[in-house]
Structure 1
Amino acid sequence: MIRYDLSTALSFLEAHDLEAVRPRAEAAHRMLLERTGPGHEMLGWRDLLLQPDDALLEDIDTTAAEIREQADVFLCLGIGGSYLGARAVIEALAPQFRSPVEAETERPRLPEVLFAGHHLSGRYLKELLAYLEGKSVYVNVISKSGTTLETMLAFRVLRPWLEARFPDAARRIIVTTDPARGRLHDMAETFGYRRYAIPPGVGGRFSVLTPVGLLPIAVAGIDIRSLFYGAVEMCERLTDASDNPALDYAALRYLFHERGYAIELLAVFEPRLSGIGAWWQQLFGESEGKAGKGLYPDAIQYSTDLHSLGQYVQEGRRHLIETFLMVEREPEPLTIPDTGDDRDGLAYLAGRTVQEVNRKAYEGTRKAHADGGAPVSTVWLERLAPGPLGACLYFFMHAVAISGYLLEVNPFDQPGVEAYKREMYRLLGKP
């Protein structure tokens, strides 16, 4: 379900370079599988795939079915890994435009999944409350510690609003948090909120295949079993160090890092994959950016950003590598019509598909950027569907673990994130 083409990038290296670093990459791979590397206690994201919990998947599906039946809006409160994964999968797989209402009920066929608690904009929250007025609302609060400022502040605003409008407000609030402790855990106990546990040993950026991501994704009408088992299949495939695309990807990135490259761009030509880029950006930024090391990850969307950043990528400083995330097969192609004239100069495209034009834009961009001195490679998804997308998510998680070990950092902690919090809380006068 995942294919990795690094042939163009290899032309920027000596013939033996990749093979020379491969023993180190395989050693990092073994550290992951044998749980001997730094942060090995945070490998719960692999454990849940090695021992799938079908009863949990069924429970999430049942809860999601209730919400789909009752809610106009499903509001997810969370920041970082507590929302990026769910948003990425929903953007990739759910319809991009709202379905028409059902004539009998005049209600949407699926709830609108919205996100809050991922920034500190008071204006956003005020407009959100106004938008929610008169709608049936369910809220999912997601925070392992239960102390995340952005998320809990949004919940403090939303909770009294819900309680004033819905007699069953406690049933409409679902918390996803630590299984045994924390402020949000204690609030769920006190007020009787339904609760899903974030498994031990799973950090936020690795949590998309836990209830953190699976509940919102299921509410959006996406098949979470196919998503989950696509990741299981990829996890099994990547156990073997041979013919291992995640290992090759990590090794290639490491080679360019050691040669002084500073930035990796993840470029997509399908707008639906932009959310995967944002999720990838956190995954690699928090996992690698330590001890003065790591490639700075930036996600861009082509062909849109070719009209804004393309000039820099083509001729700017030669300190970046570029990874394309592409889809092999796309259903329901849109044919470009023959209008009977050439007033727009596009008659040469009549009868071809927009998807074909997009593919040629990728091929042309790949060649131009490589010719301009940017090492490029491509991660190919078989198709845009739950199974291949689950495989893609695991592919990147496995790769970043290897990559972190190659850099000799702990890929599962994020000590630098606490620095801004300390200063912010000091300025706010937090006791």
Structure 2
Amino acid sequence: MIFSHDFGSESFSTDSRLKDDAFSSLVNERIGKEIGYYELPFQSVALIEHIHRFAEKNPFLSAETIHDIAVIGIGGSSLGTKGIDSLLKSKKMPYRTLHFLENTDPIAISKTLSNLKKESTLFIVISKSGKTIETVSIFKTLIGYYHLDLDGIDKERIVAITDEGSPLSRFASYHGIQQFGIPKNVGGRFSVLSAAGIVPLTLAGYDTKSLLEEGGQFLERFFNHEEDHLLDKALFLYKHSSDININVLFAYADELENLCKWYVQLWAESLGKKDGAGKHVGLTPYALIGSIDQHSFLQLIMEGPRDKSVTFITIEDFENNLLIPDISLKYLEMNDVVNGKKFNELINFQCEATKESLRMNNIPTDHIIIKKINEASVGTIIVYYELLTTLMGRMMDINPYNQPGVELGKQILCEKFTE
């Protein structure tokens, strides 16, 4: 993984106190075990063995029987897992297909149900609080649609992932359903490397051990001051947050789209708050896909309000040799310059051209280059954004782990059904 940034003539040396304080906050959180996501890359390795033992003992989880896994969850309970799955399955097909039931759109739910068969599906219901109304409602729909006998053999087809002692945990215990816990000190949107993500990804057939190990190595390098570019980036975004308050993630690969949606949730729900003085603060995330959005949103970045920074993500080697044919078309000869070139080269040169044009217009950019798509590189990018989010929160004097605005909406929703 390669990280680079071009923030103009910005000097970071005069603000070392801000960086030191933010870094110390993360160190203290980790040492005090107040926040648990720092330890997930290490703790969840043991979880993998537990998952394998569960699969070996469960007669429904033979490769010949279960071909599909229905993941019922929303937000932090599904976005990270969906993003990882979307990226990794572009390189290798897992031996089980993950299906995500995450929205209460009745058409989407009905379509997914029609594509799944009870006899070949494992149902994983995920809710950290154990009472998320969208998740519980969809889970009830599955129970009714497939006539799941919760006290009979069908309970072997169900896995619950939640906080220990939550309503969902008590439900699972009551029916004897297999459950895996999310640590109490790990928030939902920081939970992708906990059971919330590792259980479905492992059962699907991905190398989650490599994912965790590489993520853990990046985390240790950060705490050993070997990844200080994170501190520089956080400081720049914080110092300019009053005028540059939108961060655009420009990812040059279709398969990165769902991982970008995870970033949007992580960034928005963590960093849109009131600070210690009661002031409304925040950094707005926006995700784009290149080269598609070069033909739309790029115009706004280039000549619209100067309130955006841009983070580019590219894949150095797609491991795909698809060539642009050496064909010349009448009146379209101006495009022959790319004849015989790989699409891998074309999409990355498009990114470089876009980045250069933004820099020429003094728009701050940074660049993340993924050398190849695999579990190890995905583990790194997950931990990178979790650490960056926490650093930003600490510099902005907010709590990046709560979500009072979201909780208010949940309260109002329940009230509407009881009026």
The match for 2:273 among 282, 285, 290 is 290
AA aligned to 1:160 is G
Taking every aligned residue pair, what percent have the same amino acid on both sides?
Answer: 26
C-alpha separation in 2, matches of 1:54 and 1:162: 34
Which residue of 2 is the match for residue 78 of structure 1?
A: 73
**CA positional deviation for 1:411:** 1.1
Change in Cα spacing, 1:82 to 1:15, as seen in structure 2 (3 Å) is closer
**1:102 match:** none
1:90 corresponds to which residue?
Answer: 85
**Greater shift in the superposed pair: 301-310 or 192-201:** 301-310
Q: Structure 2: how far apart are the matches of 1:138 and 1:392?
A: 28
Partner SS for 1:188: helix
Q: For the residues of structure 2 that align with 1:401 and 1:314, how far apart are their CA atoms? A: 29
Partner amino acid, structure 2, of 1:336: I
Which residue in 2 is equivalent to 1:330?
Answer: 318
Residue type of the alignment partner of 1:128: T
* CA distance 1:15–1:399, change in 2 (3 Å): closer
1 CA distance for matches of 2:148 and 2:208?
Answer: 33
- Given candidates 19, 22, 29, the residue that maps to 1:28 is 22
What SS does the corresponding residue of 1:412 show, helix, strand or coil?
Answer: coil
Q: TM-score, normalised by structure 2?
A: 0.90
Q: Give the superposition deviation at 1:96.
A: 7.7
Q: Residues 234 and 67 (structure 1 numbering): CA distance in 2 closer, same or farther, change over 3 Å? A: farther
Displacement of 1:250 in angstroms is 1.2
2: CA distance between counterparts of 1:333 and 1:165? 50
1:184-224 deviation line (CA, Å, top 9, x unaligned): 11111111111111012000111111110112222332110
1:175 corresponds to which of 142, 157, 160: 160
Distance 1:358 1:153, change over 3 A: same
Counterpart-to-counterpart distance in 2, 1:417 and 1:272: 28
2:122 aligned to which of 120, 138, 160? 138
Among 91, 106, 114, the residue aligned to 2:99 = 114
Output the amino acid matched with 1:281: V
Paired position in structure 1 for 2:234: 250
User: Which position in structure 2 is the counterpart of 1:402?
Assistant: 391
**TM-superposed deviation, 1:22:** 3.1
1:207 to 187, 191, 214: 191
| Cα separation, 1, equivalents of 2:138 and 2:383 | 30
**Residues 237, 244 of structure 2: 8 Å contact kept:** no
The answer to whether the Cα contact below 8 Å between 2:118 and 2:146 also exists between their aligned partners in 1 is no
The alignment covers a number of residue pairs equal to 407
Q: Which string of whole-angstrom CA distances, capped at 9 and with x for unpartnered residues, describes residues 73-122 of structure 1?
A: 2100001110001001001111389x6xxxxxxxxx73321111x22222
1:68–1:313 CA distance, 2 compared to 1 (3 A): farther
In the alignment, what sits opposite 2:309?
Answer: 321
Q: Does 1:219 find its partner at 2:214?
A: no
Match of 1:139, SS state, is strand
Stretches of structure 2 that go unaligned for 5 or more consecutive residues are 275-279
Q: What root-mean-square deviation, in Å, do the aligned CA atoms of Structure 1 and Structure 2 show?
A: 2.3
Aligned twin of 1:4: 3
Q: For residues 22 and 136 of structure 1, what CA distance do their matches in structure 2 show?
A: 56
**Normalising by the residue count of structure 1, what TM-score does the alignment of the two structures yield?**
0.88
1:365 equivalent in alignment to 2:354:
yes
Q: Provide the C-alpha distance between the structure 1 equivalents of 2:291 and 2:269, rounded to a whole number of angstroms.
A: 27
Q: Which has the larger displacement, 244-253 or 65-74?
A: 65-74
Q: How does 1:224-243 map to 2 (within 5 A)?
A: 224-241=208-225, 243=227
> Could you say if the C-alpha distance between residues 421 and 53 of structure 1 is closer, same or farther in structure 2, counting changes exceeding 3 Å?
closer
What is the deviation of 1:165? 8.3
Q: 1:158 to 1:67 in 2, by over 3 A?
A: farther
What is the match of residue 245 of structure 2? 262
Alpha-carbon offset, residue 310 of structure 1 = 1.9
CA apart distance, 1:68: 4.4
Q: Say if 1:329 and 1:383, in contact at 8 Å, map to a contact too.
A: yes
- C-alpha distance in 2 between matches for 1:3 and 1:319: 26
Say if 1:61 and 1:215, in contact at 8 Å, map to a contact too: no
Secondary structure, aligned partner of 1:89: helix
Once the two structures are TM-superposed, the CA of residue 42 in structure 1 deviates from its matched residue by 4.7
Equivalent residue number for residue 104 of structure 1: none
Is 1:123 aligned with 2:123?
Answer: no
Report whether the alignment pairs 1:153 with 2:137: yes
Shift in CA distance, 72/316, structure 1 to aligned 2, threshold 3 Å:
same
Residue 369 of structure 1: how far off its partner (Å): 2.2
Contact 2:44–2:195 at 8 Å: present in 1 too? no
Structure scoring higher RCO (CA < 8 A, sep ≥ 6) equals: 1
Q: 2:298 aligns with which of 297, 300, 310?
A: 310
The match for 1:390 among 375, 379, 383 is 379
When residues 161 and 182 of structure 1 are mapped into structure 2, their CA distance, relative to the original with a 3 A threshold, is: same
DSSP-derived class of the 1:238 partner = helix
Matched, 1:46 2:38: yes
